[in-house]
Structure 1
Amino acid sequence: MGDLAWDVAAVNQRRAALQPLIGPTPSMSAVLVSQRPELIIPMVRQLAALHYDKLEIVVASHGAPLPDGLQTAAGERPVVARELDSALVFGDALNQAFAMASGDLVSKVDDDDYYGYHHLWDLAATHTYSGATLVGKTTTVVYLEALDTTVRRVFGARETFTHRIAGGTMTLSAQDLRAVGGWPAVPRGVDTALLRSVREASGTVYQPHDIGYLYVRGHDHQAHTWTADVGHFLRNVREQWIGLLQHAAFGTDVNSDGAPSR
C-alpha cells in the first residue's frame, strides 16, 4: 500500500468518527469567480455532485458572459450568478461575488482545480472543531500540466494551525469575512492578502489533511495569481504519477468514456 492509499484510508476512518461528533453542518456557499466561461459549467457540475446538504453555488463571470446551462449543470442545487465588469480588480470582483452568497460559511473555489466528494464537508467540520477563523487545505497534490505529471509534496504538518493554505479552498464564516474587511482590493495575491488581514485581526488559520483537493498548475504560470514557476512544485516530492492522478478521493476518477469525472 502506497502513502496515498494509506492516508486516504485513514482520512475515511477519521471522517466516520467525526461525523456524529460534528452533527449538522451549517449552510455553505461555494463561490466561483472566473474569467474563463468555458470552465464554469464543468466546475458547477463538479460542485453540484459534492457531498453537502445545504450548499449554494455562487458564480461570477469576471469580464465575460455567463455561459448557458448553469441551472442544468447545478441540478437541484440553488445557483446564483452574475456577470462582473472586467475593470474590477480581482479583490473587488471577489467581494461582489461573495456579497451574493447566503451561506453561513463561504468557500472560495478555483475554476480549474479538482475537489473530492467530501471536500466541503471536510472544511465545514474543520471550521467547527478547530475554532479557527479561516480554514483550508494545502497545495500538496498538484497536477503540473507542463510536465503532464501529478506530484504529492511533503511540507508542513496535517491537522494544525498554520500560516498558509490554498486559495481555492479558503473557507470561513460570512460574518468573519465581513469583520476582516472582506477580500482586499488588490489585482493579484488576494489569498495572501486575506491571510494577512486575518492575522492582523488576531484570527487563526487551520489546515486539516490534504485529501480531496488537487491543485492544477497550468502551462502558463503567469496566468495564475500565484506566479511561482513549475520548479517550485518539484521540491520535496513524496509521490508522483504520470498524467492527471485518477482517484475518486480527488474527484478525478474516470468515467466509462475515459474522461475525468467533471
Structure 2
Amino acid sequence: MWKEPAIKSMLSRLRGLSVQVQDQISKPHVIAESLPTVSDDPDEVFGDPAVDMTFDFADTCALPDGGSTRKPQVATILGPLSQQLWSYEWDCVAVQPDTWRKTLDSAQVSLLFVESSWLETNGAWASSPGSPTARRQLLTNIIQWCRSKGIPAVYWSRDSRPNHVDLTHAVDVFDKIFMTDGALLKEYGARFGDERFEALGYAAQPRLHNPVRLRGQHQNRGIGIVERTGAKLADTGVGYLVDGASDTAGKWGTTLETFFEQGPDSAVSLEVSDAVANLPYEKVLTAYKALKCLLSSNPREIIEATAVGTPVVVPAGTDCLVPVEELLITEVHDQVDAANATRALIRSRELRDRAVHLGQRKIWQGHTYAHRAAQVLECSGVHSRPLNGRSMTEVPQVSAIVPTIRPERISDVLTTIGQQAGVDIELVLLAHGFEPDEHQLRVEAADKGLENLVVLQQSRSTPLGACLNLAISASSGTYIAKIDDDDLYGANYMQDQAAAHRFSGAAVTGKRAHYMHLGESNATLLRFAEFEHRFTDFIMGPTIFATRELLREIPFEELNRGEDSEFLRAVVRSGGSIYSSDRFNFVQMRSGAGSEHTWSASERELLATGEVVSFGLNEQHMMF
C-alpha cells in the first residue's frame, strides 16, 4: 500500500486522466518493414523532454534479423509469449492435442519442449475437451511416441510457485527438466537426482528487448512498478522498496507510477487497485524505456528492463538465477537505502547510463535467448549444426582495418587492437606511403597480445578509399571495423559494436553520439547525444562497423576525403539501415593542427556541435 498521502493524491489525479484501458490479449509483434532515419533532433528538443503524463505507449516492434541461418526444428507446447520469444532461435512446431501425430510425422524435430503453464496459456490445450488428468495422459502418450523416435522431451518450469500436480507429472515423464527458480531447483534436484534438473535463467530476446530508443519516449518519466495478477510488489514482504521510492517521489518532485501487465500469458483483469494503466506486454516494454528507474523483484523483469536500458532497483536477497551483482543491478536493504538509490538514479543520467550499459554487456555475452536455446539443446543431447557467425552465442570475428600515413602512430594502434576484449581480433595494417619493418611489427604485436596481423603497403598516391578496399580484401573476419590511428578506442569497443550490430539488425553500426577531445582548449565534448541508440543516416567515419560481406558489395569510393560519408549514403540508397549505438569507448581526438586530420574545422565550430562535459581527458569516465 502507498505510504505517503502525497503519492495517494498523485495516483488519484493520474487515474482522473483520460486512460484507455486495454482489455484484450496482445497481438503478435509486427516486424518493421523499414526502419526510418531521424531528424536533426529526434526528440525535437535538446536535453530531456518534458514529462509525458499520457499512457499511450507505442507497441514494441521486433527488429529485423541481421543474418539468416537455418534454425533447428523444435516441437513446442508453449503460451503465446514464450512461443514468440523462442521462435527467433528455433523453428517452433506447435503441437496440438487433435493433430499432434500428423504434425510430428511430417516434421523433423530435434526436441519436444513444453513449458509449465501449458494447460493454462496454450489456447489449444486449455480449450481441449476432457479433464486436466486426461490431457496430461495425452501429453504422456506424445512423450512416449517421441521417445520411441529418439526425440528427447524437455519440461521448462518457469514458476516460483508451481502447480505441484503438473510438476510431479513432469518429473515422472520428461527426460530433462529446466527450472528458473533456484530454490525449487535445489529442492527437486535433491529429491529426484541432480542429473535430470538444470538451471535455465530468464533471458533477453534482443529482437524485442533492446535499447533502441523511441521518439520522445526515452526516460521522460520517473519511477515505475509493473504488477501482475497476484504479484503486487508492496505485498511481497519487501514493501520498504516501495516506501523508499515513495519518499523520493514525494520529496523530489518525480512520478511514481504503477502499470499492470496484461500479457498474452495472463488472464485479463480490470480489477487493479493501484495501477494507473493496464498495458499489454508489448506496451510494457516501451513503458520500461520511458522510466528513469524500475522497482522490481521479478527475475524476468530485471533482465528485460536492463536489456531495454532501464535501471532496476531490487530488494536485497532477490532470487534470480542470473546474479543481480553480475548485471550491476542496484540492490537495497531498507527504506532509507531505497530512497537514496532511487533519488540517485533519478538525478543522474550518467549513473543510469553507465549501470545499464555494463548490465547490457553481460546480457549480450551470456543471457540471451540464443544462449538459452543452445543450452537446452546441448543439455538434451541434441547436436545442432554450427550457428551463424552473427549469433549472440558466437565470439565475434572482427578485422580492424587501419590505413595510416603516420609510422609514429603504429605502436599505439597495436596497443589499441591488442587490448580488445571479448572478440577474436585481426589487425589489417596498411602502411600508406612508407615501408614498415614488418618483422619488428610482428614482434611488437605479439608482445601486445595481437596474434593475427596482416601488413600491407601502398604508395601515398593511392586514394584512401582504395586503401580501405585493399585492407578489406585482405581481411578474414566476419565483421570489419574501420579504425583511425589518431582516435581513442576502449578495450570493450569491438564487442560492444558487435553486440549492437547483432541486436539492431542494421547493415552498419557505429557512433553518432560520441565524445571528442579538443587539444587547444583541453575540453572534452559530448556530441550529438540525442542520436544515442537511434537509427539514423549518418555515423562518425572512424566508427563504421559492418560485415565483410556488405563492404564487398558496397566498397568505399576511391577518394582521399569523404569516402566514409559516400559509403553511408550508398548503404542508405541500397535500402540498408544505419544504427548509432552508445556513446562510450570512443573518443575522437582533435589536435590544434587541423592539417593533421582528414577533415578540418575550428575549435569554435566543434564546440558548437556538442556539450562540454569536462576539461581534461577523463578516460575512466568514457572507457569501461
Name the TM-score class by shorter chain. 0.7 to 0.9
- Which has the bigger relative contact order, CA under 8 A and spacing at least 6? 1
Shift of 1:56: 0.5
Aligned residue in 1 for 2:363: 17
What's the % identity of the aligned pairs? Answer: 26
Aligned residue in 2 for 1:218: 591
Shift of 1:139: 5.3
Deviation string, structure 1 residues 57-99 (Cα, Å, up to 9, x no partner):
1100100222563223322421111121111011111111221
What code does the residue aligned with 2:398 have?
M
Q: Does 1:49 align with 2:416?
A: no
What code does the residue aligned with 2:411 have?
I
Q: How does 1:105-184 map to 2 (within 5 A)?
A: 105-138=479-512, 140-180=514-554, 182-184=555-557
8 Å CA contact 2:528, 2:609 repeated in 1: yes
Q: How many residues end up aligned between the 2 structures?
A: 250
- Between 1:44-53 and 1:98-107, the stretch displaced more is 44-53
8 Å CA contact 2:402, 2:483 repeated in 1: yes
Q: Does 1:39 align with 2:382?
A: no
Aligned residue in 2 for 1:66: 436
8 Å CA contact 2:430, 2:458 repeated in 1: yes
8 Å CA contact 2:397, 2:425 repeated in 1: yes
Distance 1:40 1:138 in 2: 26
Shift of 1:249: 4.6
Shift of 1:39: 0.3
Aligned residue in 1 for 2:399: 29
Distance 1:89 1:216 in 2: 23
Shift of 1:144: 0.4
Residues 154, 136 of structure 1: CA spacing in aligned structure 2 closer, same or farther, 3 A cutoff? Answer: closer
Aligned residue in 1 for 2:580: 207
8 Å CA contact 1:123, 1:135 repeated in 2: yes
Aligned residue in 2 for 1:103: 477
SS in 1 for 2:579: strand
Structure 2 gaps of 5+ residues are: 1-343, 369-391
Per the normalisation by structure 2, the TM-score is: 0.38
Distance 1:49 1:248 in 2: 18
- Between 1:235-244 and 1:16-25, the stretch displaced more is 235-244
Q: How much is the aligned-residue C-alpha RMSD, in angstroms?
A: 2.0
Shift of 1:244: 2.0
Per the normalisation by structure 1, the TM-score is: 0.88
From 548, 557, 570, the counterpart of 1:197: 570
Distance 1:98 1:131 in 2: 21
What code does the residue aligned with 1:84 have?
Q
8 Å CA contact 1:146, 1:218 repeated in 2: yes
Distance 2:443 2:539 in 1: 32
Structure 1 gaps of 5+ residues are: 252-262
Q: Is the strand fraction higher in 1 or 2? A: 1
Deviation string, structure 1 residues 199-245 (Cα, Å, up to 9, x no partner):
12111110111111111012122332232322232126434222222
Q: How does 1:214-253 map to 2 (within 5 A)?
A: 214-235=587-608, 237-247=610-620, 249-250=622-623
